[in-house]
Amino acid sequence: MPSNAWNRVVYRAWAPVYDRLLGRVFRPGRAASARLLALRAGERVLLVGVGTGQDLPFLPAGVLALGVDLSRPMLERARRRLPAVSAQVDLRQGDAAILDVATGSFDAAILSLVLSVVPDPAAVVAEVMRALRPGGRAVIFDKFAPDTRAPSLPRRTLSLITRLFGTEIDRRLGDVLAGAPCRVVSNDPSILGGQYRVVLLPRTEAPVS
């Protein structure tokens, strides 16, 4: 399992090259997430694992956004985007599993490529659902192993290698969402032949403080 300490090291190294190497690769998935979330002016959106801010250009004018990321170097890259972003954005360093936000204070949340990175993805989902108001919704763009079977030995072995680069490939969406107060209303294939998914999750219960 990765740790926050290791992720800080890895994403300090990724920060200078992330946009150049991976920005175009992930852009279709980010764009699809934004379309699915359909944010409206006046809504508050939480971006968990905002990274270098690749999702920020897709936020419409009039939206109030908070982006949280563990990596200060990644956030520094995100801040450089702000003058060209239509939404009003605040960026903070923080742990996705322990969000310093009020319960029920957001209308929507974006989780792009974060659940495959954090040490405890289920805890991050639970924390995001706490932050959402009743009736709020979250969108996930990430890679998942099939829910229908356990990850194969080759996949689990390869995940040990990808972990060194700050991500895992053997996590299943069903395991991550188990027990969370949300339901899957769409789970669409995205890049790399559907290895990456775009998932819409409305919150199903009132947040618990």
Query: Alpha helix (H) ranges present in 56-200?
Result: 72-79, 121-131, 153-162, 173-177
Whether 144 is in a domain gets the answer yes
- The answer to whether the CB of 137 falls within 8 A of the CB of 197 is no
Separation of alpha carbons 163 and 116, rounded Å: 9
Is 80 exceeded by the pLDDT of residue 2? Answer: no
The predicted structure's pLDDT at residue 154? 85
Mean pLDDT computed over 136-148: 96
Which tens digits make up the pLDDT trace of 168-187?
999 999 999 999 999 999 99
Domain containing residue 10? 4-202
The predicted structure's pLDDT at residue 105? 98
Mean pLDDT computed over 151-157: 87
CA 179 vs. chain centroid, Å, equals 19
Whether 209 is in a domain gets the answer no
Whether 20 is in a domain gets the answer yes
Number of domains in the chain: 1
Q: Would you tell me how many other CB atoms lie within 10 Å of the CB of residue 107? A: 20
Whether 207 is in a domain gets the answer no
Whether 18 is in a domain gets the answer yes
The distance in angstroms from the start CA to the end CA of the chain is 28
Whether 208 is in a domain gets the answer no
Is 50 exceeded by the pLDDT of residue 207? Answer: no
Q: Which one-letter amino acid corresponds to residue 178?
A: A
Separation of alpha carbons 110 and 197, rounded Å: 13
Which tens digits make up the pLDDT trace of 121-138?
999 999 999 999 999 999
Sign of the dihedral defined by the CA atoms of residues 32, 41, 84, 7, in that order: negative
Q: At 32, which CATH number?
A: 3.40.50.150
The predicted structure's pLDDT at residue 155? 87
Mean pLDDT computed over 3-19: 95
Whether 112 is in a domain gets the answer yes
Whether 54 is in a domain gets the answer yes
Q: What is the pTM of this model?
A: 0.94
- The answer to whether the CB of 22 falls within 8 A of the CB of 84 is no
Closest by Cα among 134, 154, 100 to 203: 134
